[in-house]
Amino acid sequence: MKGLVWLRNDLRMDDNPALREACIHSDEVHCVYIYSKEQMKFHNEANCKIEFIIDNLKSLNESLKEINVSLTIVESEGFNDNANKLLDILLDRSIDNIYWNNMFGTDENERDEEVQALLNKNNISYKNFDDQVVYAPGAIKTKEQKPYSVFTPFKRRWIEKFNIDFLDIEFQYTPKAKSEVESNVHEFNFKFQKNHHVDMSLWKIGEENALNILKNYLDKKVFRYSFDRNDPITDGTSRLSPYLALGIISPKRCILEALKKNNFELDTGEKGIVKWVDEIVWREFYKNIMFSFPKVSRGSPFQDYTKNIKWRFNENEFQAWKEGRTGFPIIDSAMKQLKSEGWMHNRLRMVVAMFFTKNMLHDWRLGEAFFMENLLDGDFSSNNGGWQWSSSTGTDAAPYFRIFNPITQSKNFDGEGLFIKKYIKELKNVDKKEIHDPSEIIRKEVNYPSQILDLKESRLRAIDAFNSAKN
């Protein structure tokens, strides 16, 4: 028996149900990854993320070689030709079964339906699995059998349903029969041109490194997560989000290892661990929203009335925000972190997004797209959920009158100004009392820009825009 594993957002061997099932039931196993530069462009995938994908494919290829599994890359124009590409491989190599792990976006679902229809037409067996979540999207519903749209009751039900057996993910691979098909990973022309300025040395390649990052975090830092998670200069978060986004590590592995550190308690015990697991549940919540309410994948707000908001647009302000020249140090330093690291601290993602959608009153979709174009950990459901939460257009969103003051946020979470000084060199010698909101004299002395807007006036403008949309 020959099995084919269609790799997507699951670039790992550990806790890969599709690969595991193929290895159990097949004497010879092949893997294929369909690479579509145009599809990635259509989905606003960041250039640094594409580089990360390519490097991790090469790393995975070396691991698969150890069990005689070949990985080949197939070039594609887009999702529309995936079904035929796969069928050609299956027929050419006389493969009996195909396996894959599910994705939950609207485009991905439509593609997979086309694949399944063609496989059924040709009497080819397939199996698909859920590896990005503990519970398949749509599995957790209210008593009325409706999807949850508020996180807290979703989490409560998620915990109620939880069974440790869900985390039975250990598996020992054994070598398969050697295939005549040679891997083309290192010879394949990805036609990739680097056009970003992200320091990629910050992000280690491969699932072994991802598992080590998880281990070190749980050994040393997770216990302080509830205290340190909002401090952008303290290395208090796991920084596993890029590895989760690409499936280099699984959420089940993260939860299992966390539970081992917490006497297998899910919602009691060490506060830091409980809070950290909460973030993984948030991830599942947003995948459920994306699955249950497809409109959010089509650029629509979750809250229908917010379609009436009269967003403004100012090109100069938009460019200043993108380039970290707003005159608000915490905003500008966060945007510079994004450009230099391909990542932004989660607290600052909220501050930056709320400033963009409330104070600037710019359409959240512009900010959402810009983040996807620059985030190494770009995950549509989480990014969309975060932007709609911040803009008060989404599910379980912040009330529209809740508007973070960036200066207050800066003082509260970067009191010493160390984060600001790290990313804005012009302010490195400014006193901590002045750094959050430098005077015009200081701004001129160090060549730091004036504020692009008035916080008080812009706040009132935002509240008025939302009130008008409601009425």
Residues marked as catalytic? 279, 282, 311, 346, 364, 387
Q: What letters, b where the CB count within 10 A reaches 16 and e where it falls short, cover 103-119?
A: bbbebbbebbebbeebb
Question: Degrees (nearest 5) of the Cα angle 239, 346, 57?
Answer: 40
Q: What letters, b where the CB count within 10 A reaches 16 and e where it falls short, cover 203-230?
A: bebbbebbbebbeebbeebbbebbebbb
Residue pair 211/249 in contact (Cβ under 8 Å)? The answer is yes
Contacts of 120 (CB under 8 A, 6+ apart): none
> Two tokens at 150?
């508020």
Helix (H/G/I), strand (E/B), else coil: 324 = coil
Across 116-267, the runs of DSSP E, i.e. the strands, are 125-129
Query: Please, which residues bridge with residue 320 across strands?
Result: none
Is 139 exposed, middle or buried, given 0-12, 13-18 or 19+ CB atoms closer than 10 A? middle
What count of other Cβ atoms lies within 10 Å of the Cβ of residue 193?
9
Question: Can you tell me the distance from the alpha carbon of 57 to that of 72, in angstroms, rounded to the nearest whole number?
Answer: 10
Question: Can you tell me the distance from the alpha carbon of 273 to that of 262, in angstroms, rounded to the nearest whole number?
Answer: 7
Helix (H/G/I), strand (E/B), else coil: 29 = strand
Residue pair 117/151 in contact (Cβ under 8 Å)? The answer is no
Q: What letters, b where the CB count within 10 A reaches 16 and e where it falls short, cover 362-382?
A: bbbbbbbebbbbbbbbbbbbb
Contacts of range 413-417, beta carbons closer than 8 Å, 24 or more positions apart: 413/230, 413/231, 413/232, 413/347, 414/231, 414/232, 414/233, 414/330, 416/233, 417/329
